[in-house]
Amino acid sequence: MIIIGSALVTFLPRVLPLMVLSRTELPEWGIRWLNYVPISVMAALVGQELFVQDRQFSLINNVELLAAIPTVLVAMKTKSLLGTVVVGMVSIMALRFFF
Amino acid sequence: MSQEELRVKSIATSRDEGSFMQGVKDCIPTLLGYLSIGFAAGVLEKTAGLSILEIILLSVLVYAGSAQFIAAGMIATGSSATAIMITIFFVNLRHILLSAALSPYFRHLTPFKNMLIGSLLTDETFGVAINEAAQRNQIHEKWMHGLNLTAYLNWIFANIAGAYFGQWISDPEKFGLDFALPAMFIGLLILAIVSRKKVKLDVIVAICAVVIAVAVAIVYPGNVGVIVATVVASTIGMVIEKWK
């Protein structure tokens, strides 16, 4: 029951825009707006993951934020998704080991 | 590189770029992310008391990391089915934006084919696909299926593996598995900014999104903040670009 319901509420937002917006032409400002969606949605997700812990803003004693620094640098330097994920995981492991 | 080598190389790329196999290959950089997050999801689902069959159904039918993490967490704490479904709906509402952003590239396809593409859409395949679109100005249907199916099968496999090994892993954080998801979002964000030629505006939009998402998340629980931040920050980007 939970699984079927969860599947449905996941399926609809994924599928409907592709099915409906493919039929109709988007206005120019709409396309321009959609251009910024990937940047905003990824940044918003990163922001929540890094700065919010237990519904509190967290800046000090935040291992995840520290681990994000080498992760960002590697992403900029190598442009490799795989490298970024590996460095991120190794960084957080190392930081948790030392702190 | 000699002139001839260049020509051979360009012929080879133009023949391969839209194929199913190329889609499979372009998915490879994201696989470690799928495998580690899927593994972590499997471990969490197992420790939440789900059976192997339920875990397989979850990964096959829901196929969404954040949704499955939330489902596992809420099932473990005994939340109602309705509460779980509403939370998951809001978390995955961001897919509306991803799906809409891809729609211009699949306008020539039937609604059914668009449904097939959309049903396997994830943050990561979206990130790869939108990079492809930025580089080539188009996305081939077969390439997209190659990308989607590779990610999907790896996800299911990772969930099952996680469920199987979950009985021995008591502390997934010790292995940094919980950081695989944020690390991948960081990678996709940086890659998107680097691949476009408007770094300054993108960084402004990203900072706005972070500030709004964090501010809203502190007031409202769940992922409403991500939706609000996405809508507002994208609008800011659109307006600044228009006024420049």
Domain range list for chain B = 18-175
Quick check: helix, strand or coil at residue B232? helix
Q: Does residue A37 belong to any structural domain of this protein?
A: yes
Give Dmax (Cα) for chain B: 66
Strand partners, A52: A57
Question: Using one digit for the tens of pLDDT, what is the confidence trace for B6-27?
Answer: 454 444 455 567 899 999 999 9
Enumerate residues 167 to 196 of chain B having a beta carbon within 8 A of any beta carbon in chain A: 173-194
Which pLDDT does position A83 carry in this prediction? 84
Give the tokens for residue B32. 């470690």
Q: Does residue A10 belong to any structural domain of this protein?
A: no
Q: Does residue A53 belong to any structural domain of this protein?
A: yes
Contact indicator for B164, B53 with CB cutoff of 8 Å? no
B52 touches chain A (CB under 8 A): no
How many domains in chain A? Answer: 1
Element (H, E) at B224: helix B224-243
CB neighbour burial string for B191-221, b if at least 16 within 10 angstroms, e if fewer: bbbeebeeeebbebbbebbbbbbbbbbeeee
Best of B36, B190, B226 to disrupt the A interface (most A CBs within 10 Å) is B190
Q: Does residue A19 belong to any structural domain of this protein?
A: no
Cα–Cα distance between B145 and B23 in angstroms, integer? 7
Confidence of residue B155 (pLDDT cuts 50, 70, 90): very high
Question: Using one digit for the tens of pLDDT, what is the confidence trace for A20-39?
Answer: 887 777 788 887 888 888 88
Q: Does residue A64 belong to any structural domain of this protein?
A: yes
The boundaries of the domain holding residue A91 are 25-98
Q: Does residue A35 belong to any structural domain of this protein?
A: yes
